[in-house]
Amino acid sequence: MRDTPLSNCERDFLLKAIEEKKRLDGRQTYDYRNIKITFGTDYGCCFVDLGKTRVMAQVSCELVTPKESRPNEGIMFFNLELSPMASPAFELGRSSELLVKLNRQLERCLRNSKCIDTESLCVVSGEKVWQIRVDVHMLNHDGNLMDATSIAAIAALSHFKRPDVGIQGDEVTVYSAQERDPIALSIYHMPICVSFSFFQQGTYLLVDPCEREERVMDGLLMIAMNKHREICSIQSSGGIMLLKEQVLRCSTIASVKVSEITDLIAKALENDKKARKEGRKCGFAESMPQERITALKNLETTVEMTDLTKQASDIVEGVETPAEMALSPVVPAPGVGQVGAGLQNAWGLEDEEDDEDEEEEEEEDGDEPEVTIVAEKRGNKKKGERPVVIISDSEEEEVVILNPESS
């Protein structure tokens, strides 16, 4: 599937509007879209809505052997996926430039900045350490995937709790969530990415570009920063040339935005913690907006089942029992073997009998009548006296059966 190409008049309109300091959705130059952060039912699942851009991050952990060069440090693994759901241009399995860029930026932002204490993830030095795996899925692409991804990833890492581990001598016991409370990761700081898009060779700047604006931009500057005003990474792409003052101005804007976003994440985590402590249900189901006309919820319902067992029994009894199966193979004459003699011919039958014992997964597709149909008796093929069954459709007038010489 290909994305619809951008028309020239759309491009001209966008650029002209940007020159007049106007944006398509009415924002100001430095305004972010509405950010909404929700958490899933289990620890480590986070949904971020940046305007219409939607991203989901899931953190999971596993015990693995550590890298040889760092035997007492845990491993962080990032996996970003451009789901075909997010945009018709994304194809599954195709490693595009955008995917590599986003993956690399996420790694730089979170791993190289050492925001997570990896030494606390060590269980047995040199043998077992925790591998923390962050999977980010793009659900809807309306521009600025990187910012949404970094917010989702760091919020999910802050939300995640790993299982408790006990070490007694040589034995390592991993306790489940019911046995011992899981432990949160130790996070030093929260790096957040802020994207700046440049137009007309760096003359005009916009923060948090939407999808249309991204298509007409000349270059992108991504600054990852934490709330202590420390820059974790800077990346400029698109080949634009920026002045020193521009970059410094962007970093000042970024520090303001980052502190706002960090407050938002902290508030969302607080709310979630409070809700869980009160025992309220949390998750995607709860965060579904009720008042919208496109959403509907039904409470637990019972299904009336009077007479259903009787109906089922009737159906089962109505089916005729299949013909007796002969032990196979049958040897009617020396040198001749026969398998499946005297059975009903089931080939080419649309109706099927339902008396198979399913031990493994089975699939039946196509429109089948729901209850099983009585299997038609096709017992007209009495093989009777003949020792050998003729299976061929030969159009020869005479069929000669060569019998072996009776010994």
Partner 1 sequence: MEVCSSDGFNFNVTLREFGCEQSLLSRPDGSSSFIQGDTSVLAAVYGPAEVKVSKEIYDRATLEVVIQTKVGLPSVKERSQEQCVRETCEASLLSSLHPRSSLTLILQVLHNDGSLLSCFLNAACMAFMDAGLPMSCLFCGVTCAIAMDGQVITDPTATQEKESRALLTFAIDSTEQKVLMSSTKGSFSVHELQECIAISQKASEKIFQFYRESVQRRYSKTL
CA angle 198, 201, 204 (to 5 degrees): 45
Taking CB under 8 A as the criterion, which residues in 373-392 touch partner 1? none
Nearest to 211 by CA among 358, 316, 54: 54
CB of 41 or CB of 203, closer to partner 1: 41
Residues in the chain: 407
Alpha helices in 108-171 (DSSP H): 145-159
CB of 219 or CB of 283, closer to partner 1: 283
Does 58 contact partner 1 by CB under 8 A?
yes
- Helix, strand or coil for residue 258? helix
Taking CB under 8 A as the criterion, which residues in 225-284 touch partner 1? 283-284
* Binding string, residues 283-322; x marks residues near partner 1 by CB under 8 A: xxx--xx--xxxxxxxxxxxxxxxxxxxxxx-xx------
Q: Is the dihedral of CA 244, 250, 251, 256 positive or negative?
A: positive
CB of 8 or CB of 298, closer to partner 1: 298
* Binding string, residues 160-199; x marks residues near partner 1 by CB under 8 A: ----------------------------------------
Q: Which residues contact 15 (CB under 8 A, 6 or more apart)?
A: 199, 200, 216
CB of 301 to partner 1, least distance (A): 5
Residue 343 and residue 57: Cα distance in Å, rounded? 58
Residue 249 and residue 66: Cα distance in Å, rounded? 42
* Binding string, residues 93-132; x marks residues near partner 1 by CB under 8 A: ----------------------------------------
Does 363 contact partner 1 by CB under 8 A?
yes
* Binding string, residues 12-51; x marks residues near partner 1 by CB under 8 A: ----------------------------xxx--x------
Residue 224 and residue 55: Cα distance in Å, rounded? 18
Does 359 contact partner 1 by CB under 8 A?
yes
